[in-house]
Structure 1
């Protein structure tokens, strides 16, 4: 079968958002208003910030504005891997903050438990499954990395199992699998859109004023307060939390620290009983391979396979809707899917989509304040924000309160990454780096002089 035939009937929309249970949008804000805390952005970062703020102080008047609808961007279309890591994986955190990595790993696990507690407390149904995740070797040279990865993860508290080829194929059957590390407890699978919608409902239940289809256009300081202009009026707030992620920050000096890159995914139709039996996957773990251009793969609650990743595309500094579709990437992903699961020949993809991710040079979240500490900012999650956004919300609220906490003492919080250079140097550097990463994948992971220089400078691009 020609793999491209599997794409014939795909809907060009994120699978998770194509749901009849999608809630109606709340009314746009019309006229001016005042509040204690204004949250700009209705993705995970903003929703968690509003929710945690109300749980900390039920009397606080909290307003959240969102230009589109809550969860309508990266928060509603991602792969649904909710990991405990706050640092885009242990290796990245260990390389950057070796003296604090133990605390970072502990805080990440505490954050994941707090998320679970919130889901129970507010009755949020989002297909949460604490399955853990696999890192799967698909090339001989990657097998040598697995034992070291398992040992390092165990040293910092992870419950890991090292699987040989037979053992990993007993979990998920692919002829391309040569071994794996299974981190059994630090990742949950989740329906990302329903998580966002559940957080929105919880915010509304606690009294947060949520206004969708209300873009924030500008931000100004006026003495002890900050005003944010919207199309139909101004909001005056004592504090503002900016949670715009891949979209341009209202604070101009923050903008060089992130760039939008585009990631793409496919979702199959539900597998039949025969197809599911041919793959196995009884423990329902998500998995990824350790290549620079890696895949992320998981099975949904209704037994579909999400197949995403590989291509990461930079298309300039502005987020544009037309960049969310890329047929050439869908074709590449489809061919790779059937190379990995030849027993699923004849399966079809129901949905194909993509969108922007906010990327920072250190590959994980960073923080800042402005306007005399009345405005806080968190961004740069680089595709691993489903769990880390809740931690980011806690940090922003600590910073706005002027609180000295274990979180605010972290170097992760106190120091920002290196900014991206201006154009055209930015595009040239990203293009050169992408080619170097692809070359490393073809040459047993060997990093050339350019990549080694970036490593020395502490820039991202390691994953």
Structure 2
């Protein structure tokens, strides 16, 4: 049993494909001094990097420092599937669920954000393997078909160029026996290499005058003479304002982790497809693809025609963001099995890389902001897996909030509301284990599982098997 999957994972590197690259920039020096700055950014993933670039574009003379506990993009930003989406609030249905009265404005802002995202890539010549190929939502069951019908209505209502695909039309796009219906959003979406995008943003920020320190974690923060003193292992920073761009990495501010859980999302990457395999698979338009379930699978092609296949989320006790278990073949076997069932044309293909990454999950499944030190420090994050493009928007709004600049977006509900409280350990670990088991087995076994998922839904998490 699982012989082909075990064989496929025999020589796999258990590290992110994106980060296993000679393009990685040189490591910045560690902070060993006591310095001052106007704005300190903690974290150099997408949120921190977009903050750094945009603040210097707004005010080139502003003094900006970034400290990073490891190196740029080493966390969630160097690990995602990196399917670009204009959605700011984790998809159309989630936006409709949470913010229906403001949905027209949020969709307009999302499209604007995507256009400006593209403009940044082109303006600064960021080499990130971008392909503007669209995103494709697929249904794998009858519930998914109903979801696509509803989603299509929302896409059309709010001005997206999206077309429904019958099973036959879908098979012309991608050869999979599991896909029953599709919804192809053709504009303002596609795929990138996320690490190359992050490293490109870092290069731009440095050219604009931002100072970076790496291997420099934040240890504590206190108020000092109406400013903030942030201590690191070998130095310190006194800053007027601080933005915490730490997303799922919340050790230094425990209040964040009461509303955000570090869920693990797993990915496998195949060896490059041969011409014959690519022809058998179809996928001529190279869309990023994901299905409609909570425990969804998502997939895309890379520049060198590897298939990335993701899903199988999990949780480790006490928000562990670097579990040893995910550096072994075992947790990826079910994902490889699903890859082969989804694409029989490449069944048996070897897996070059397998990895997991932390998703900052909350019950709204959207970005939010948390305030510290009378507003001088602001946390921005919690994208629940949709942060590759939404982080740019979140960073822009974070700057307006921390600087108290009156822009219309600050009046929107998402900037003023927090996700629900999440129980502490061990209840969090127990609850997530039961929930993931229920999601995996509800359709086949029913019973208490459906009741449990209904209860979790009442608590604010929109779950469906």
For 1:48 and 1:307, the matched residues in 2 are separated by: 27
1:379 aligned to 2:381?
Answer: yes
Taking the aligned partners of 1:128 and 1:388, their CA distance within structure 2 comes to: 16
Other-structure match for 2:198: 196
Which of 352, 355, 362 does residue 354 from structure 2 map onto?
352
Quote the residue 1:312 is aligned against.
314
Whether 2:47 is the aligned partner of 1:42: answer no
Deviates more, 1:310-319 or 1:54-63: 310-319
Match among 333, 340, 343 for residue 341 of structure 1: 343
Q: Structure 1 residues 394, 323: CA separation in 2 closer, same or farther (over 3 Å shift)?
A: farther
Q: Note the alpha carbon deviations across 1:286-319, whole angstroms, 9 max, x for none.
A: 1111122110100001100001113333433232
Map 1:339-418; keep pairs closer than 5 Å.
339-418=341-420
2: CA distance, partners of 1:152 / 1:177: 21
Q: Check the 8 A contact 1:64/1:210 in 2, yes or no.
A: yes
**Offset at residue 441 of structure 1 (A):** 4.5
Deviates more, 1:41-50 or 1:182-191: 182-191
State the match for 2:231 in structure 1. 229
Deviation at 1:249, TM superposition (A): 5.1
Report SS of the residue matched to 2:379: strand
Aligned partners of 1:292 and 1:438 also within 8 Å: no
Indicate whether 1:4 and 2:6 are aligned: yes
Q: Is the 8 A contact 1:221 1:227 kept in 2?
A: yes
CA contact (8 A) 1:4 1:334 kept: no
SS at match of 2:258: helix
Contact 2:69 2:218 in 1 (8 A): yes
Cα distance in 2 between the residues matched to 1:438 and 1:453: 16
Aligned partner (choices 93, 96, 106) of residue 94 of structure 1: 96
**Within-5 A mapping of 1:140-155:** 140-155=142-157
Counterpart position of 1:167: 169
Pick from 59, 62, 77 the counterpart of residue 61 of structure 2.
Answer: 59
- Label 1:406 to 1:324 Cα distance change in 2 as closer, same or farther (>3 A): farther
Gaps of 5+ in 2: none
What displacement does 1:439 show?
A: 3.6
The partner residue of 1:421 within 414, 423, 429 is 423
Aligned to 1:327: 329
* 1:296-351 C-alpha deviation (Å, 9 max, x unpaired): 10000110000111333343323234254352221111111111111113421111
Q: Give the 3-state SS of the residue equivalent to 2:311 in structure 1.
A: strand
Rounded to whole Å, the distance in 1 between the matches of 2:22 and 2:206 is 20
What is the CA–CA distance in structure 2 between the aligned matches of 1:184 and 1:406, rounded to whole Å? 29
Query: Quick one: distance in 1 between partners of 2:114 and 2:169?
Result: 28
* Residue matched to 2:82: 80
The answer as to whether partners of 1:39 and 1:46 remain within 8 angstroms in 2 is yes
Could you tell me whether the CA contact under 8 Å between 1:314 and 1:430 is conserved in 2? no
Kindly report the root-mean-square deviation, in angstroms, between the aligned alpha carbons of the 2 structures.
2.0
Residue 227 of structure 1: SS of its match in structure 2?
A: strand
1:247, distance to aligned residue in structure 2 (A): 1.0
Q: 2:439 maps to what in 1?
A: 437
Q: Confirm or deny that 1:278 pairs with 2:252.
A: no
The question of 1:257 aligning with 2:247 is answered: no
Call closer, same or farther: CA 1:19–1:441 in 2, change over 3 Å.
Answer: farther
| 1:121 CA displacement | 1.4
- The structural deviation recorded for 1:89 is 0.8
**TM-score, reference length from structure 1:** 0.95
C-alpha separation in 2, matches of 1:441 and 1:280: 30
Q: Aligned pairs, how many?
A: 463
Q: Measure the CA separation in 2 of the matches of 1:341 and 1:255.
A: 38
Q: Contact 1:258–1:379 at 8 Å: present in 2 too?
A: no
| Counterpart in the other structure of 1:212 | 214
Unaligned runs of 5+ residues in structure 1 are: none
Structure-1 separation of matches of 2:408 and 2:134: 27
Question: Contact between 1:369 and 1:399, CA under 8 Å: does it hold in 2?
Answer: no
C-alpha contact (below 8 Å) 2:138/2:179 kept by paired residues: yes
State the Cα deviation string for residues 345-388 of structure 1 (Å, max 9, x = none).
Answer: 34211111112211112111111222122111112111110011
SS at match of 1:194: helix
Contact 1:132-1:182 within 8 A present in 2 as well:
yes
Q: Structure 2 vs 1, CA of residues 186 and 454 (structure 1 numbering), >3 Å: closer, same or farther?
A: farther
Deviation of 1:460 after TM superposition, in Å, equals 4.7
Aligned to 2:291: 289
Q: What SS class does the counterpart of residue 148 from structure 2 fall into?
A: helix
- Per mean C-alpha deviation after superposition, the further-off stretch among 19-28 and 136-145 is 136-145
Q: Is the 8 A contact 1:291 1:441 kept in 2?
A: no
1-side partners of 2:198 and 2:97: how far apart?
32
